[in-house]
Each structure stands twice: as C-alpha cells, then as structure tokens.
Amino acid sequence: MKKILLLLTLLFITSVSAQSFKAGVGTAYATDISTIGITANALMEIDKTWEADGSFTLFFEKDLVSWKVLNANIHYILSNKSDMKWYLLGGLNMTFYSVDFPEIEIDNPWGDDDFSVGGESSGSNFGFNLGIGGRKALSESLELFGQSHYTISDGSYLTLNVGVLFKF
C-alpha cells in the first residue's frame, strides 16, 4: 500500500505545475504476461522538456492468472515538433497478480468425508520502467501514442502500448 501511495504522490506533485492535462485509453501487450490488456492513461506536460504520466492496465485473464499494472513515469522530450513528439521514459511500476484455482472435489479413498481443494493466491512486484515513446497529433485535442518500456523487477517484462489521448 505504501508503494501505491508513493506512485500517487509522485503524480500529484507533478500535476501542481502541469501546463496541460491529457487522458485516454489504449491497449497493451506484455511479454512475460503473454496476454493483451486495456489501459487507462493520464499525461501532464510540465514544461517543453518534461512530462509525467500515469497508467493503469488490466490484462485479460490467461491460464487462471489475472494481472493488473500501475505505472508512474517521467518523460524526457527528445523531439518536440508541433505534430510529433519523441521521448525517453523512466519510472515506477507495481504489478499485481492473482491466481484463482477452481475448487475440485476429491473422493476420500478411506471412506471418510470427501474434501475439496482450490483457492486463490495473490501478490505484487515493485519495479522500475525504462523505455521510449512517441505521440502524433491527429487534431488539436486528439493524439495517437505508442510506447514501449521494459519493467525491471522480480518478474521483468517488456510492454508495448498504443492508444489515444484527449486534451483537456
């Protein structure tokens, strides 16, 4: 819980001086998770060189495992043309997972009552993100984005993410 509060605090601090706010949706694919997900994104432009973003991704269940990912990143703008931006990113990551084993009934061979096994197990990993991304303006209030970042943690993985952002 302390790690989640740290991520939210980072986003709040950067939003105080933000020049522009954007939010959007997209899709993501993570290599070791091996499934696609739906992501919600928020982006704050701090100045012409720096931005901060936050995202939450819910990956589709695969092989009885569900994954949720929370990211908070800082962008360093490499190229800031009017309709296209390229950036490097670095940040913090929390990956949550849960495994839901179905209940199965087992016959007791000694004649006593039958019993069942199954249940749920869950946990989380803290990590660091390193990556690159870009955004292309489609209109004055709509941008297409794509980014890739590698999460360094106990369960490291590469994430590819595309979507749209709306300017507010």
**Measured CA distances, 147 to 29, 74, 109, 135, 136 (Å):** 11, 13, 56, 9, 12
Beta carbons of 143 and 22 less than 8 angstroms apart: yes
Q: Any idea what the Cα angle at residue 55 is, between residues 53 and 57, rounded to 5°?
A: 160
Q: What percent of the chain has pLDDT over 70?
A: 80
Q: Any idea what the Cα angle at residue 74 is, between residues 67 and 137, rounded to 5°?
A: 90
Q: What is the pLDDT of residues 101-121, one digit of tens each?
A: 777 776 666 666 666 666 788
Q: What is the pLDDT of residues 41-63, one digit of tens each?
A: 999 999 889 999 999 999 998 88
- Indicate yes or no: pTM above 0.75: yes
Give 125 or 14, the one with higher predicted confidence: 125
Helix (H, G, I), strand (E, B) or coil at 11: helix
Cβ neighbours of 11 (radius 10 Å): 16
Average pLDDT of the chain, as a whole number: 87
Nearest to 23 by CA among 142, 138, 166: 166
